[in-house]
Structures are given as C-alpha cells and as structure tokens.
Structure 1
Amino acid sequence: MSSPPVSELNERTREIFRLVVENYIASGQPVGSKTLSGEEALNLSPASIRSVLAELESLGLLAAPHTSAGRMPTETGLRLFVDGMMQVAEPSAEERAAIERRLSAPGPIEQALEQVSAMLSDLSGAAGMVMVPRREPRLMQMTLVPLSPVRALAILVAEDGQVENRVVPLDAPLSPSSLEMASNYLSSRLSGRTLAEAASLMGEEIASGRSQLDEASRTLVERGLAVWSEDAARRPVLIVRGQANLLDETALGDIERVRSLIDDLENKQSIAGLLDSAREAQATRIFIGSENRLFALSGSSVIASPYRDREGNVVGVLGVIGPTRLNYARVVPMVDFTARSLGKLIG
C-alpha cells in the first residue's frame, strides 16, 4: 500500500502519528491512547486520540497487533516518517571524536574495517556491517625469499606501495637460481597487472611451454599463484559485528523473526548484494522490512552508505541492520559520518 503524502495529513494527525512512531522506536511496544493523552502538546482526550489512531490505521500507516493493545507503525508508516517527518540528530562531538579515534588506530585496512563494524554496532545498538573494498591493485613485483628447505616467503608489492607477504610451501629444496628465476618471471608478468590478469597470462604461457622456466621454477610459480589466489577467494566480502545486539528483550518475544534475521546474516553473500545496491547512492539509503525481498520474513531494516576514496570513487559500503524500530533519526547521520571518516582513511 502506498502511503499518502505528509501534506495530506492535518497538523493534529501528523503530530499523533509522529508521537506513535517515536514512542514505538523508543520502547518497541505498541502505543495506546492513554500514553498519548499524557503528552502535554496534544491536549486531547483519549477518545479523540483513538479516533485519530483509527484514521491512521485505515490509511495503512498504523496497525494494532492485538485487540486494545495500542498501535504501532507499519512499514508503510515508517517509510512515510523517514522520508517526510524525521528530524535527524547529528552525532555529538563525543561520538564524532570516538569514531575518528577508532579509525585512526594504526594497523592494516582490514583491521580498520573490523573496528568500523564493531563501532557501528556499539553506537547504534544494532549489528554493524562493512563491505570489504572490491579493489584489485595493480602489481609491481613479487619476490621469493627462502625461509627453510620446504618454505619460501612470497612478497607481493603493489603499485600503490602496499606490501603483503605469504608463506609458500615447497615440495623439495630449491636452488637460489631457481628462486631468482621464478621471482624475475613473476615480476615481469605481474608488473602493471592485477593478480587475476597476471595469473591468466602466466597460466597460458606455462601450459604452452613458452615460459622458459625450468621445472622447479615453474612448480614454484604455480604454487605461489595458487596460494595468493586461494587467499583472495577466502577474503570476506562482508564483516558483521554485534549480532548479539539483535537479541534484546523485545526481540525475544518474536524469536522466529530474530532467527530469520540471524539466518540472513549468515548468508553474507546475499547481504553483500543488498549493500552493493547502495554503491551508486548519493546519500545514505534506508531499506525498511519487506521493501527488500531478503527481509520479507525477518522484517528488518538496513541503513547503508557508500564510502569513497579521496578521488570520490566508491570503494565499499557500510551500515547497520536491525529491527524496523531502529532509531533512524540518530543512526542515519551516524552512518553517514562514519562513511565520510572511513573514506578519508582509505585515501
């Protein structure tokens, strides 16, 4: 059901609707006319309030889960509130400082992404998510250094200066000349290419016998590429932290919904696909409940924002996932600020 424009609701109806949504977000419980009649700004009797609540229910903006149990916003009502009525609360100076402090800690980018996911969870009271950047760096060289008779260290250097190391197991001891030959061959074929591009080229050359490598060097090259390719395939596409936050007292009353949400989070590829749809967004995106087919059963909401490098290129997406009663006014600007802060770190 499409919701009516906010402009079609009179001032009294808008105010009662706003109070229902805000009370529901704060408590997770349906809101009754007695609760609302205590609001000084309304100055209305419970009977008058019940009449407005019934009108809002007929419009599809509120629902009564149980007889005389009060009203709660529907997904349609939440969408109307988020798009037309919500007044965002910017992160406090303390929250901004905490976000920037966590991001400025020394360490590899993967560690920073872990910190971002955990931090979003802590600040939002939901689960934090960060999609790992899908960047394939252009490479400059790979050097193989002997560690022991049965192990070598592969040092991969990217054009942007990033350095990664991996240990490559050896079937048999190799001579220094074989290691040097393999290193020179790798560097000549890797230079200016991504690992996938270089691996494809070298695979064709080795298979056709055009590589001019001796058998030991050829085996080492194949083993080294296999280690790097396997490592890249195993890297998580999504880092999720704070699932325990989803098990609050309110959620325990709807354990099937929570179980469905946990199952959704276990299927990280599907969640990553949802976040990926926010890559082209110019601002933070909000997915409410069954607006996205993935959450038709769990009735969850996602707030997601792309993060960019200094050139403005989107390198990933971060956000939070939780029940539809997320505090959108607080979480949306927090996600947006974190995305901008992480973008500065990515460089």
Structure 2
Amino acid sequence: MTTPPIAELSDRARDVFRTAVESYLDSGLPVGSRTLSKISGLNLSPASIRNVMQDLEEMGLLAAPHTSAGRMPTDHGLRLFVDGMMQAMEPSVEERATIESRAGEAGSVEEALSNTTAALSGLSACAGMVMVPKREPVLRQFSFVPLSDGKALAVLVGDDGSIENRVVDILPGMTPSALAEAGNYMTAMLAGGTLAEARNRLAQQISDERAELDATARALVERGIAVWTEDGDNRPVLIVRGQARLLDEAAAEDLDRVRQLLDELEGKQEIARLLERARDGDAARIFIGAENELFALSGSSVIAKPVRAMDGRVVGVVGVIGPTRLNYARVVPMVDFTAATVARLLA
C-alpha cells in the first residue's frame, strides 16, 4: 500500500490523525474517539471524530487491533507522521551531558563506545547500538604459544594495553624455539605500526630478502599478520546495549513480539547489514515495522544515523531499536547528538 501524501488529507483529518498518533505514541494503547474528544483541542464531537477516524482507516493510516478497541496508526500511518508532521524535540541539557560524560569516561575506545551506547539506550528506552570499523591498534609485542601439534596461539599486544589472541595453523613438529624466533622477529621489526603497516613492511622485507628468518618461521610470521588483518577487515565492532529496556509494561501484553525481537537481536551480522543501509546520506534513517525485513515479524522500528569524520568520511553508524510506538520526535534528535559525540570520540 502506498502512503498518501499529507496534501490529500483535509485539515480536520490531519488534526485528528496527528492527535491520534501522538496519543498512541505517548501511551502505547489504541485510542478511541471519545478519548480524543477529551484530551485534545479538536472541538469535535466523538461522533465527528469517529467518522474521520473511519476515513483514515479506509486510507490505511489507522487500524483497529480488535473490534471493540480504539484505533492505532499503521506502519504507513507512522511513516506519514514521521515524514510530514513530526516536530523534533532537541535533547535537553541533562540528556546531552549524560551522553557526553559516558563517552568521556576513562578506558579503551570500545569501552567508551559501549558506555555511550548504554547512555543512549537508557535515555531513549530502546536498545542502543553502534557499529564502527575494527580499530587497528599500534603494535607493541607479538608472541606465539604452542597449543598442540599443528596449532599455536598468536598473541598481539597493542600500545594501548589491549591484548588479542588468535589460533593459527603451524607446521606439525614446529619447535618452541622456532615459535619464539618468529615472535621476537615480529616484535623487533614490526612494533610501532598498525597491522596494515606491519603487513606492508613485512612484504617489503621478504621481497628484498632482508628478513632474517628461515622458511618455516617466515611462513608463520606471514600467517600471524594475515590472521588479524583478514579478521579485522571482516569484523566491524558492533555493540548492542539495553535489550532489557524493551521489556516494559506495554510489552507484557505482546510477549510474543518481544521474544521475537530479542531473538532477532542475537543475529549481529544481520543487524550490521541493516545498519549499513543507513550509511548513505546525512540525516537519520527511520525503518518502521515491515519496512525492514529483519524486524518485520517483531513489529519494531530502527533509527540509525551515519557517523562522519571531519573530512566527511562515514566511520560508523549509531542507532536504536524499539517498538514502532517509540517517541520519534524525541529519539531521532537524540540519535543525531549521539552520532556527533561518537564522531568526536573517534577523531
């Protein structure tokens, strides 16, 4: 169904529709004509409001979940509201301070990103998420620890104190001394650069035949570099925080939907692909309900904003996942502000 443009709505229909949507987003409950006549300044009788709501239902903008219930906006109705009627509310001074203070807490970059995401989740009452490329640490030390015949643990220590481990294949029967030789060589020759720089430097050393290694140790060094660069290229940092905030009082009436959403949040590769769709453009993208395949079954919405560096490059995506009835006018600017904060964090 195609969402009708706002111009097709009469002034009366537009006022009734906006008031019905705002009431639903505030309470999470379908709203009836009598309720609207009491809580709004429409100056219309319940019968007149009911007739207008019937017209809006026929246009696909409102729907009644049950015969005796009031009406609630459809996904198409929410799209019309978000694109043409919503008046954004800038984050308060307190909300801005909360996000900035969590981003500025001591720790690694990933810890700061996690803290910032948690702050966004708490303020928006949604699950917060951030995706950025895997940051390459400046290398300090390499070592190889034998695990079993044919396997070793490659250990990388970064200048920031971070430690990462990978299991690598080695030739059967490779001695501990050969492992130590390869680790010492990598530490001596490659420390002080990133993985990409280390890979280029190593390739040049071998090409010039200046790498003082035998063939076995050389193969291990090459593998030790490759296992990180291959993994880093294909594994962006994706942080999701605040899933428990999706279990609010209103969710108790729709536990199947919430269970479905929590199951979907486990599929981080799918979430990463969804966030990739928000990289183009400057404004936040809003995916409502069935507009995205991943969260179609749970009836959830996603608000995502690209994070841009000073030179305009997209260096990540920040967003939230919540029910379709979330407060878009408040949350969209909050996601915008968080994206700007993360951009400064990654600068």
TM-score bucket of the superposed structures, by smaller chain: 0.7 to 0.9
Range moving further from structure 2, 126-135 or 43-52? 126-135
Q: TM-score, normalised by structure 2?
A: 0.83
Are 2:70 and 1:70 aligned? Answer: yes
For the 8 Å contact 1:90–1:330, the answer to whether it is kept is yes
- Identify the residue that residue 17 of structure 1 maps to in structure 2: 17
User: 1:237 and 1:178 mapped to 2: Cα distance?
Assistant: 29
For the 8 Å contact 1:91–1:334, the answer to whether it is kept is yes
Give the 3 Å change call, closer, same or farther, for CA 53–173 of structure 1 in structure 2.
same
Counterparts of residues 106-125 of structure 1 (less than 5 Å): 106-125=106-125
Give the 3 Å change call, closer, same or farther, for CA 165–77 of structure 1 in structure 2.
same
User: 1:167 and 1:44 mapped to 2: Cα distance?
Assistant: 68
Q: Shift in Å at residue 210 of structure 1? A: 9.3
For the 8 Å contact 2:129–2:320, the answer to whether it is kept is yes
Q: What's the CA shift string for 1:287-333, capped at 9, x where partnerless?
A: 00111122221111000001122222111101100110010000000
- Identify the residue that residue 96 of structure 1 maps to in structure 2: 96
Q: Shift in Å at residue 180 of structure 1? A: 4.8
Provide the secondary structure at the position in 1 that maps to 2:88. coil
Give the 3 Å change call, closer, same or farther, for CA 224–275 of structure 1 in structure 2.
same
- Identify the residue that residue 126 of structure 1 maps to in structure 2: 126
- Identify the residue that residue 338 of structure 1 maps to in structure 2: 338
For the 8 Å contact 1:182–1:220, the answer to whether it is kept is no
Q: Shift in Å at residue 145 of structure 1? A: 7.6
Q: Shift in Å at residue 171 of structure 1? A: 5.8
Moved over 6 A (4+): 150-153, 167-170, 174-178, 190-193
Q: Shift in Å at residue 73 of structure 1? A: 0.1
Q: Shift in Å at residue 20 of structure 1? A: 0.8
Counterparts of residues 175-186 of structure 1 (less than 5 Å): 180-184=184-188, 186=190
- Identify the residue that residue 289 of structure 1 maps to in structure 2: 289
Q: Shift in Å at residue 182 of structure 1? A: 4.2
Give the 3 Å change call, closer, same or farther, for CA 199–277 of structure 1 in structure 2.
farther
Provide the secondary structure at the position in 2 that maps to 1:273. helix
Q: Shift in Å at residue 214 of structure 1? A: 3.0
For the 8 Å contact 1:153–1:166, the answer to whether it is kept is yes
Provide the secondary structure at the position in 1 that maps to 2:43. coil
How many correspondences in the alignment?
334
Gapped regions of structure 2 (runs ≥ 5): 146-151, 168-173
For the 8 Å contact 1:144–1:155, the answer to whether it is kept is yes
Give the 3 Å change call, closer, same or farther, for CA 87–314 of structure 1 in structure 2.
same
Give the 3 Å change call, closer, same or farther, for CA 241–154 of structure 1 in structure 2.
closer
User: 2:133 and 2:185 mapped to 1: Cα distance?
Assistant: 33
Q: Shift in Å at residue 110 of structure 1? A: 0.5
User: 1:199 and 1:295 mapped to 2: Cα distance?
Assistant: 45
For the 8 Å contact 1:113–1:132, the answer to whether it is kept is no
- RMSD, aligned CA: 3.5
Q: Shift in Å at residue 344 of structure 1? A: 1.3
Give the 3 Å change call, closer, same or farther, for CA 65–171 of structure 1 in structure 2.
farther
Q: Shift in Å at residue 172 of structure 1? A: 2.3
User: 1:236 and 1:181 mapped to 2: Cα distance?
Assistant: 29
Q: What's the CA shift string for 1:173-215, capped at 9, x where partnerless?
A: 579977654445546xx9687279559959xx69xx9955136
Counterparts of residues 158-169 of structure 1 (less than 5 Å): 164-166=162-164
Q: How many percent identity over aligned positions?
A: 55
Q: What's the CA shift string for 1:131-185, capped at 9, x where partnerless?
A: 1325557x7x6644899xx99974456xxxx775557999625799776544455
Give the 3 Å change call, closer, same or farther, for CA 269–144 of structure 1 in structure 2.
closer
Q: What's the CA shift string for 1:67-86, capped at 9, x where partnerless?
A: 12100000000000000000
Provide the secondary structure at the position in 2 that maps to 1:254. helix
- Identify the residue that residue 244 of structure 1 maps to in structure 2: 244
- Identify the residue that residue 258 of structure 1 maps to in structure 2: 258
| Residue identity opposite 2:196 in structure 1 | T
- Identify the residue that residue 194 of structure 1 maps to in structure 2: 196
User: 1:223 and 1:309 mapped to 2: Cα distance?
Assistant: 32
| Residue identity opposite 1:117 in structure 2 | T
| Residue identity opposite 2:176 in structure 1 | A
Counterparts of residues 20-35 of structure 1 (less than 5 Å): 20-35=20-35
User: 2:260 and 2:40 mapped to 1: Cα distance?
Assistant: 40
Q: TM-score, normalised by structure 1?
A: 0.83
Give the 3 Å change call, closer, same or farther, for CA 270–175 of structure 1 in structure 2.
closer
User: 1:168 and 1:320 mapped to 2: Cα distance?
Assistant: 32
Gapped regions of structure 1 (runs ≥ 5): none
Give the 3 Å change call, closer, same or farther, for CA 258–135 of structure 1 in structure 2.
same
Are 2:153 and 1:172 aligned? Answer: no
- Identify the residue that residue 82 of structure 2 maps to in structure 1: 82
- Identify the residue that residue 268 of structure 2 maps to in structure 1: 268
Q: Shift in Å at residue 220 of structure 1? A: 6.0
For the 8 Å contact 1:64–1:71, the answer to whether it is kept is yes
